[in-house]
Structure 1
Amino acid sequence: MNELLPVVITTNGSQWAKNLLKILGWKLIIPGLPGPRGIIVAYPHTSNLDFFIGMIAKSACGIPVNFLAKDSLFKIPVVGWWLRYLGGRPVIRNSPQGYVKDLAQEMAKAKFFWLAITPEGTRKKTPGWRSGFYHLALETNYPVGFVYLDYQNKTIGLADFLTMTGNEEADFAKIRDIYQGKLGFYPKNMSPITLWSPQKDKNKVH
Protein backbone atom coordinates (compact mmCIF):
# COMPACT_ATOMS: atom_id res chain seq x y z
CA MET A 1 0.00 0.00 0.00
CA ASN A 2 3.02 2.29 0.35
CA GLU A 3 2.84 4.86 -2.44
CA LEU A 4 6.22 6.45 -1.77
CA LEU A 5 9.84 5.53 -2.30
CA PRO A 6 11.37 2.83 -0.07
CA VAL A 7 12.36 3.94 3.40
CA VAL A 8 15.82 5.52 3.37
CA ILE A 9 16.27 7.19 6.74
CA THR A 10 16.87 5.07 9.82
CA THR A 11 18.88 5.60 12.97
CA ASN A 12 19.99 3.77 16.07
CA GLY A 13 17.87 4.39 19.12
CA SER A 14 18.42 4.20 22.84
CA GLN A 15 19.12 0.69 24.08
CA TRP A 16 17.64 1.42 27.51
CA ALA A 17 14.39 2.53 25.87
CA LYS A 18 14.31 -0.63 23.74
CA ASN A 19 14.88 -2.71 26.87
CA LEU A 20 12.17 -0.84 28.76
CA LEU A 21 9.64 -1.50 26.01
CA LYS A 22 10.50 -5.19 26.16
CA ILE A 23 10.10 -5.23 29.93
CA LEU A 24 6.70 -3.58 29.53
CA GLY A 25 5.79 -6.20 26.93
CA TRP A 26 5.65 -3.90 23.90
CA LYS A 27 6.87 -4.60 20.36
CA LEU A 28 8.25 -1.75 18.26
CA ILE A 29 7.95 -1.83 14.47
CA ILE A 30 9.42 1.39 13.07
CA PRO A 31 11.33 0.71 9.81
CA GLY A 32 12.41 4.31 9.20
CA LEU A 33 11.36 7.35 7.19
CA PRO A 34 11.25 8.05 3.44
CA GLY A 35 12.83 11.50 3.58
CA PRO A 36 13.95 14.42 5.78
CA ARG A 37 10.52 16.01 6.26
CA GLY A 38 7.03 14.74 6.83
CA ILE A 39 4.06 14.30 9.11
CA ILE A 40 3.30 11.47 11.51
CA VAL A 41 -0.28 10.73 12.48
CA ALA A 42 -0.57 8.90 15.82
CA TYR A 43 -3.83 7.03 16.43
CA PRO A 44 -5.69 5.98 18.48
CA HIS A 45 -5.23 8.36 21.42
CA THR A 46 -7.51 7.31 24.28
CA SER A 47 -5.32 7.39 27.40
CA ASN A 48 -2.60 9.37 29.17
CA LEU A 49 -0.48 6.25 28.83
CA ASP A 50 -0.19 6.92 25.10
CA PHE A 51 2.15 9.87 25.62
CA PHE A 52 4.57 8.00 27.87
CA ILE A 53 4.61 4.87 25.74
CA GLY A 54 5.08 7.07 22.69
CA MET A 55 8.02 8.95 24.21
CA ILE A 56 9.75 5.67 25.12
CA ALA A 57 9.17 4.43 21.56
CA LYS A 58 10.52 7.72 20.17
CA SER A 59 13.72 7.27 22.17
CA ALA A 60 13.94 3.60 21.21
CA CYS A 61 13.75 4.27 17.46
CA GLY A 62 16.13 7.24 17.75
CA ILE A 63 14.34 9.46 15.25
CA PRO A 64 14.01 13.09 16.48
CA VAL A 65 10.31 13.57 15.79
CA ASN A 66 8.62 16.75 17.00
CA PHE A 67 5.05 16.80 18.27
CA LEU A 68 2.24 19.27 18.93
CA ALA A 69 0.71 19.98 22.32
CA LYS A 70 -1.62 22.58 23.86
CA ASP A 71 0.11 25.95 24.22
CA SER A 72 -1.13 26.27 27.82
CA LEU A 73 1.09 23.34 28.85
CA PHE A 74 4.20 25.22 27.74
CA LYS A 75 3.37 28.07 30.11
CA ILE A 76 3.71 25.81 33.14
CA PRO A 77 7.17 26.11 34.75
CA VAL A 78 9.38 23.05 34.25
CA VAL A 79 6.63 21.25 32.29
CA GLY A 80 7.04 23.62 29.36
CA TRP A 81 10.82 23.19 29.36
CA TRP A 82 10.46 19.41 29.55
CA LEU A 83 8.04 19.30 26.63
CA ARG A 84 10.32 21.44 24.48
CA TYR A 85 13.24 19.22 25.40
CA LEU A 86 11.27 16.20 24.18
CA GLY A 87 10.52 17.94 20.88
CA GLY A 88 7.18 19.56 21.71
CA ARG A 89 5.76 22.50 19.79
CA PRO A 90 2.87 24.61 21.15
CA VAL A 91 -0.25 24.96 19.02
CA ILE A 92 -0.66 28.69 18.32
CA ARG A 93 -4.21 29.04 17.02
CA ASN A 94 -4.20 32.86 16.73
CA SER A 95 -1.28 33.13 14.29
CA PRO A 96 -1.85 36.05 11.86
CA GLN A 97 -1.21 33.94 8.74
CA GLY A 98 -2.51 30.68 10.18
CA TYR A 99 -0.69 28.01 12.14
CA VAL A 100 -0.60 25.58 9.23
CA LYS A 101 1.37 28.05 7.11
CA ASP A 102 3.68 28.79 10.06
CA LEU A 103 4.44 25.09 10.47
CA ALA A 104 4.90 24.59 6.72
CA GLN A 105 7.47 27.39 6.61
CA GLU A 106 9.30 26.09 9.68
CA MET A 107 9.47 22.59 8.23
CA ALA A 108 10.69 23.84 4.84
CA LYS A 109 13.59 25.74 6.44
CA ALA A 110 14.76 22.77 8.52
CA LYS A 111 17.17 20.12 7.26
CA PHE A 112 15.16 17.49 9.13
CA PHE A 113 11.66 17.96 10.51
CA TRP A 114 9.06 15.28 11.13
CA LEU A 115 6.01 16.37 13.07
CA ALA A 116 3.76 13.98 15.03
CA ILE A 117 0.10 14.90 15.43
CA THR A 118 -2.73 13.18 17.29
CA PRO A 119 -5.64 14.14 15.01
CA GLU A 120 -8.31 13.40 17.62
CA GLY A 121 -6.95 16.30 19.67
CA THR A 122 -8.17 14.76 22.93
CA ARG A 123 -8.44 11.44 24.73
CA LYS A 124 -12.23 11.65 24.67
CA LYS A 125 -14.25 10.32 21.76
CA THR A 126 -15.11 12.99 19.20
CA PRO A 127 -17.17 12.84 15.98
CA GLY A 128 -13.94 12.58 13.97
CA TRP A 129 -10.41 13.87 13.38
CA ARG A 130 -9.39 17.51 13.39
CA SER A 131 -8.24 18.66 9.98
CA GLY A 132 -4.88 20.26 10.88
CA PHE A 133 -2.69 17.36 9.77
CA TYR A 134 -4.59 17.07 6.48
CA HIS A 135 -4.28 20.77 5.65
CA LEU A 136 -0.57 20.67 6.53
CA ALA A 137 -0.04 17.64 4.30
CA LEU A 138 -1.76 19.37 1.38
CA GLU A 139 0.12 22.61 2.01
CA THR A 140 3.53 20.94 2.05
CA ASN A 141 2.98 17.82 -0.08
CA TYR A 142 5.15 15.98 2.45
CA PRO A 143 4.54 12.27 3.11
CA VAL A 144 2.27 11.27 5.96
CA GLY A 145 3.23 8.26 8.08
CA PHE A 146 0.67 6.44 10.21
CA VAL A 147 1.72 5.30 13.67
CA TYR A 148 -0.53 3.08 15.75
CA LEU A 149 -0.59 2.16 19.43
CA ASP A 150 -2.33 -1.20 19.46
CA TYR A 151 -2.95 -2.14 23.08
CA GLN A 152 -4.64 -5.37 22.07
CA ASN A 153 -1.34 -6.72 20.70
CA LYS A 154 0.93 -4.32 22.66
CA THR A 155 2.52 -3.12 19.44
CA ILE A 156 3.69 0.32 18.38
CA GLY A 157 4.14 0.46 14.64
CA LEU A 158 4.61 2.74 11.67
CA ALA A 159 2.18 1.16 9.26
CA ASP A 160 2.54 3.06 6.00
CA PHE A 161 3.32 6.32 4.21
CA LEU A 162 0.88 8.11 1.93
CA THR A 163 0.73 11.40 0.09
CA MET A 164 -2.58 13.16 0.59
CA THR A 165 -4.33 13.94 -2.68
CA GLY A 166 -7.06 16.37 -1.64
CA ASN A 167 -9.68 13.75 -2.43
CA GLU A 168 -10.86 13.47 1.15
CA GLU A 169 -13.07 10.44 0.62
CA ALA A 170 -10.35 8.43 -1.12
CA ASP A 171 -7.60 9.51 1.27
CA PHE A 172 -9.57 8.59 4.38
CA ALA A 173 -10.67 5.27 2.93
CA LYS A 174 -6.97 4.35 2.72
CA ILE A 175 -6.32 5.62 6.25
CA ARG A 176 -9.20 3.55 7.63
CA ASP A 177 -7.69 0.46 5.98
CA ILE A 178 -4.34 1.17 7.65
CA TYR A 179 -5.86 1.35 11.14
CA GLN A 180 -8.24 -1.56 10.74
CA GLY A 181 -8.07 -3.76 13.86
CA LYS A 182 -5.78 -1.43 15.84
CA LEU A 183 -7.28 -0.78 19.29
CA GLY A 184 -6.52 1.91 21.84
CA PHE A 185 -6.40 1.50 25.61
CA TYR A 186 -10.07 2.47 25.73
CA PRO A 187 -11.52 1.26 22.40
CA LYS A 188 -14.87 2.91 23.13
CA ASN A 189 -13.12 6.31 23.05
CA MET A 190 -11.62 5.85 19.58
CA SER A 191 -12.90 8.57 17.27
CA PRO A 192 -14.14 7.70 13.77
CA ILE A 193 -11.52 8.17 11.05
CA THR A 194 -13.15 11.05 9.22
CA LEU A 195 -12.65 14.81 9.25
CA TRP A 196 -14.61 16.85 11.78
CA SER A 197 -14.65 20.55 12.63
CA PRO A 198 -15.44 21.51 16.25
CA GLN A 199 -16.16 25.05 15.02
CA LYS A 200 -18.88 23.83 12.65
CA ASP A 201 -20.52 22.01 15.56
CA LYS A 202 -20.48 25.22 17.59
CA ASN A 203 -22.19 27.07 14.77
CA LYS A 204 -25.02 24.56 14.44
CA VAL A 205 -28.45 25.59 15.64
CA HIS A 206 -29.66 23.03 18.21
Structure 2
Amino acid sequence: MHRTIFTTPVINTLLRGFSLAFLKMTGWTVEGSLPPQATRSVFIAAPHTSNWDLPYTLMVAFALRLNPYWMGKQSIFKAPFGGLMRWLGGIPVNRAQSSNLVAASAQAIAGADGPLQLIVPPEGTRSKTRYWKTGFYYIAQTAQVPIVMAYMDYATKRSGLGPLFQPTGDIAADMAAIKAFYAPFKGKNAAQFEAEPIE
Protein backbone atom coordinates (compact mmCIF):
# COMPACT_ATOMS: atom_id res chain seq x y z
CA MET A 1 0.00 0.00 0.00
CA HIS A 2 1.05 3.59 -0.48
CA ARG A 3 2.88 5.63 2.17
CA THR A 4 0.61 7.57 4.48
CA ILE A 5 0.82 10.15 7.21
CA PHE A 6 0.88 7.24 9.68
CA THR A 7 4.05 5.76 8.18
CA THR A 8 5.93 9.03 7.68
CA PRO A 9 8.67 9.36 10.33
CA VAL A 10 8.83 12.45 12.55
CA ILE A 11 5.47 13.71 11.27
CA ASN A 12 3.81 10.65 12.82
CA THR A 13 5.39 11.43 16.20
CA LEU A 14 4.46 15.12 16.05
CA LEU A 15 0.87 14.47 15.02
CA ARG A 16 0.41 11.79 17.66
CA GLY A 17 1.42 14.31 20.30
CA PHE A 18 -0.94 16.90 18.83
CA SER A 19 -3.80 14.37 18.63
CA LEU A 20 -3.42 13.28 22.23
CA ALA A 21 -3.34 16.89 23.41
CA PHE A 22 -6.31 17.98 21.29
CA LEU A 23 -8.50 15.05 22.28
CA LYS A 24 -7.75 15.60 25.95
CA MET A 25 -8.36 19.34 25.68
CA THR A 26 -11.74 18.83 23.99
CA GLY A 27 -12.87 16.20 26.51
CA TRP A 28 -12.60 13.06 24.39
CA THR A 29 -11.64 9.71 25.91
CA VAL A 30 -9.87 7.12 23.76
CA GLU A 31 -10.55 3.53 24.78
CA GLY A 32 -9.19 0.08 23.94
CA SER A 33 -6.16 -1.17 22.05
CA LEU A 34 -5.51 -3.29 18.99
CA PRO A 35 -4.90 -6.97 19.85
CA PRO A 36 -1.87 -8.62 18.20
CA GLN A 37 -4.10 -10.90 16.14
CA ALA A 38 -5.83 -7.89 14.57
CA THR A 39 -2.86 -6.00 13.15
CA ARG A 40 -4.39 -6.88 9.79
CA SER A 41 -8.11 -6.32 10.06
CA VAL A 42 -11.20 -4.54 8.83
CA PHE A 43 -12.52 -1.70 10.97
CA ILE A 44 -16.18 -0.77 11.11
CA ALA A 45 -16.40 3.02 11.36
CA ALA A 46 -19.75 3.88 12.89
CA PRO A 47 -21.75 5.95 13.37
CA HIS A 48 -20.72 7.97 10.30
CA THR A 49 -22.90 11.08 10.10
CA SER A 50 -20.57 14.07 9.65
CA ASN A 51 -17.47 15.39 7.89
CA TRP A 52 -15.99 15.77 11.39
CA ASP A 53 -15.75 11.97 11.64
CA LEU A 54 -12.62 11.90 9.45
CA PRO A 55 -10.38 14.27 11.46
CA TYR A 56 -11.49 12.70 14.74
CA THR A 57 -10.89 9.22 13.33
CA LEU A 58 -7.39 10.20 12.22
CA MET A 59 -6.57 11.63 15.66
CA VAL A 60 -7.86 8.52 17.44
CA ALA A 61 -5.81 6.39 15.05
CA PHE A 62 -2.68 8.35 16.00
CA ALA A 63 -3.52 7.98 19.69
CA LEU A 64 -3.86 4.19 19.32
CA ARG A 65 -0.79 3.84 17.05
CA LEU A 66 -2.79 2.34 14.19
CA ASN A 67 -1.89 2.10 10.50
CA PRO A 68 -5.30 2.74 8.95
CA TYR A 69 -6.49 3.13 5.40
CA TRP A 70 -10.01 4.29 4.59
CA MET A 71 -12.33 4.28 1.61
CA GLY A 72 -13.76 7.48 0.19
CA LYS A 73 -15.85 8.44 -2.82
CA GLN A 74 -13.71 9.05 -5.90
CA SER A 75 -14.70 12.71 -6.22
CA ILE A 76 -12.77 13.80 -3.11
CA PHE A 77 -9.55 12.48 -4.64
CA LYS A 78 -9.61 14.90 -7.57
CA ALA A 79 -7.01 17.66 -7.92
CA PRO A 80 -5.84 19.58 -6.03
CA PHE A 81 -6.56 17.43 -2.94
CA GLY A 82 -6.10 13.90 -4.29
CA GLY A 83 -2.51 13.53 -3.14
CA LEU A 84 -3.37 14.82 0.32
CA MET A 85 -6.30 12.44 0.68
CA ARG A 86 -4.10 9.48 -0.26
CA TRP A 87 -1.42 10.62 2.19
CA LEU A 88 -4.11 10.68 4.88
CA GLY A 89 -4.72 7.00 4.13
CA GLY A 90 -7.50 7.36 1.59
CA ILE A 91 -8.34 4.83 -1.09
CA PRO A 92 -10.65 6.16 -3.85
CA VAL A 93 -13.77 4.12 -4.55
CA ASN A 94 -15.77 4.34 -7.77
CA ARG A 95 -19.27 3.54 -6.54
CA ALA A 96 -20.46 2.96 -10.10
CA GLN A 97 -17.87 0.21 -10.64
CA SER A 98 -17.54 -1.46 -7.25
CA SER A 99 -18.13 -5.08 -8.26
CA ASN A 100 -14.50 -6.02 -7.66
CA LEU A 101 -14.05 -3.87 -4.56
CA VAL A 102 -14.28 -6.76 -2.09
CA ALA A 103 -11.67 -8.89 -3.88
CA ALA A 104 -9.28 -5.97 -4.39
CA SER A 105 -9.57 -4.85 -0.77
CA ALA A 106 -9.06 -8.36 0.57
CA GLN A 107 -6.02 -8.83 -1.66
CA ALA A 108 -4.53 -5.55 -0.41
CA ILE A 109 -4.88 -6.69 3.20
CA ALA A 110 -3.48 -10.14 2.52
CA GLY A 111 -0.57 -8.78 0.50
CA ALA A 112 0.47 -6.06 2.92
CA ASP A 113 4.03 -6.42 4.20
CA GLY A 114 3.09 -5.07 7.62
CA PRO A 115 0.13 -4.01 9.77
CA LEU A 116 -2.86 -2.68 7.85
CA GLN A 117 -6.29 -1.77 9.14
CA LEU A 118 -8.91 -0.99 6.51
CA ILE A 119 -11.62 1.36 7.81
CA VAL A 120 -15.03 0.92 6.16
CA PRO A 121 -18.09 3.00 7.14
CA PRO A 122 -20.97 0.52 6.76
CA GLU A 123 -23.56 3.21 6.03
CA GLY A 124 -21.59 4.11 2.90
CA THR A 125 -22.68 7.76 3.24
CA ARG A 126 -22.94 10.57 5.79
CA SER A 127 -26.61 11.05 4.87
CA LYS A 128 -29.43 9.31 6.69
CA THR A 129 -29.72 5.71 5.63
CA ARG A 130 -31.75 2.83 7.02
CA TYR A 131 -29.49 0.09 5.69
CA TRP A 132 -25.89 -0.91 6.19
CA LYS A 133 -23.84 -2.09 3.25
CA THR A 134 -22.12 -5.42 3.77
CA GLY A 135 -18.84 -4.78 1.96
CA PHE A 136 -16.86 -4.62 5.21
CA TYR A 137 -18.18 -8.04 6.18
CA TYR A 138 -17.25 -9.73 2.91
CA ILE A 139 -13.83 -8.05 2.78
CA ALA A 140 -13.00 -9.46 6.23
CA GLN A 141 -14.41 -12.88 5.34
CA THR A 142 -12.48 -13.05 2.06
CA ALA A 143 -9.21 -11.84 3.61
CA GLN A 144 -9.77 -14.13 6.61
CA VAL A 145 -9.15 -11.33 9.10
CA PRO A 146 -11.22 -10.18 12.08
CA ILE A 147 -13.58 -7.23 12.12
CA VAL A 148 -12.73 -4.59 14.71
CA MET A 149 -15.81 -2.80 16.00
CA ALA A 150 -14.49 0.75 16.25
CA TYR A 151 -16.84 3.44 17.49
CA MET A 152 -17.22 7.18 17.99
CA ASP A 153 -19.88 8.33 20.44
CA TYR A 154 -20.37 12.10 20.30
CA ALA A 155 -22.90 12.00 23.16
CA THR A 156 -20.29 10.83 25.68
CA LYS A 157 -17.16 11.91 23.75
CA ARG A 158 -15.82 8.36 23.75
CA SER A 159 -14.04 6.75 20.84
CA GLY A 160 -11.98 3.63 20.47
CA LEU A 161 -11.89 -0.04 19.69
CA GLY A 162 -14.55 -2.47 20.81
CA PRO A 163 -14.42 -6.26 20.60
CA LEU A 164 -13.20 -8.28 17.65
CA PHE A 165 -15.78 -10.04 15.52
CA GLN A 166 -14.96 -13.03 13.33
CA PRO A 167 -17.48 -13.57 10.50
CA THR A 168 -19.22 -16.92 10.77
CA GLY A 169 -20.80 -16.93 7.31
CA ASP A 170 -24.31 -16.46 8.75
CA ILE A 171 -24.55 -12.85 7.66
CA ALA A 172 -28.04 -12.21 9.03
CA ALA A 173 -27.12 -13.35 12.54
CA ASP A 174 -23.70 -11.70 12.41
CA MET A 175 -25.08 -8.33 11.27
CA ALA A 176 -27.74 -8.46 13.99
CA ALA A 177 -25.03 -8.99 16.63
CA ILE A 178 -22.84 -6.23 15.21
CA LYS A 179 -25.69 -3.73 15.06
CA ALA A 180 -26.70 -4.54 18.61
CA PHE A 181 -23.24 -3.42 19.71
CA TYR A 182 -23.58 -0.10 17.86
CA ALA A 183 -27.15 0.67 18.89
CA PRO A 184 -26.24 2.81 21.95
CA PHE A 185 -23.76 5.08 20.14
CA LYS A 186 -24.68 8.53 18.83
CA GLY A 187 -23.11 10.23 15.82
CA LYS A 188 -22.61 13.97 15.58
CA ASN A 189 -25.87 14.14 13.65
CA ALA A 190 -27.58 11.44 15.68
CA ALA A 191 -30.86 11.47 13.74
CA GLN A 192 -29.01 10.21 10.66
CA PHE A 193 -27.88 6.94 12.25
CA GLU A 194 -30.20 3.94 12.39
CA ALA A 195 -29.54 0.28 13.14
CA GLU A 196 -31.82 -1.35 10.62
CA PRO A 197 -31.71 -4.53 8.50
CA ILE A 198 -28.85 -4.98 6.07
CA GLU A 199 -28.82 -3.97 2.44
Report the TM range for the smaller structure's normalisation.
Answer: 0.7 to 0.9
Aligned to 2:161: 158
C-alpha contact (below 8 Å) 1:25/1:154 kept by paired residues: yes
The residue that corresponds to 2:140 in the other structure is: 137
Matched, 1:113 2:122: no
SS in 1 for 2:174: helix
Moved over 2 A (4+): 33-36, 92-95, 191-194
SS at match of 2:38: coil
Contact 2:102 2:138 in 1 (8 A): yes
| One-letter identity of the residue aligned with 1:84 | R
Where does structure 2 lack aligned partners over 5 or more consecutive residues?
1-12
Over the aligned positions, Cα root-mean-square deviation in angstroms equals 1.8
* Counterpart contact for 2:71–2:93, Cα < 8 Å: yes
- CA deviation profile, 1:59-116 (whole Å, cap 9, x unmatched): 2222111111111211231x11111111111114536x71111111121111222100
TM-score, with normalisation over the residues of structure 2?
0.85
1:19 is matched with 21
Shift of 1:35: 3.1
Structure 1: runs of 5 or more not aligned: 1-11, 197-206
Cα shift readout 1:28-52 (whole Å, capped 9, x = no counterpart): 0131233331100010011111111
Deviation at 1:16, TM superposition (A): 2.0
Superposition pairs of residues 150-189 of structure 1, within 5 angstroms: 150-189=153-192
Identity of aligned residues (%): 33
Alignment length (residue pairs): 183
Q: 1:102-159 CA deviation, whole Å, 9 max, x = no partner?
A: 1111211112221001111111111211121112122122100011110111000211
Query: Aligned partner of 1:50: which letter?
Result: D
In 2, the alpha carbon distance for the partners of 1:16 and 1:30 equals 19
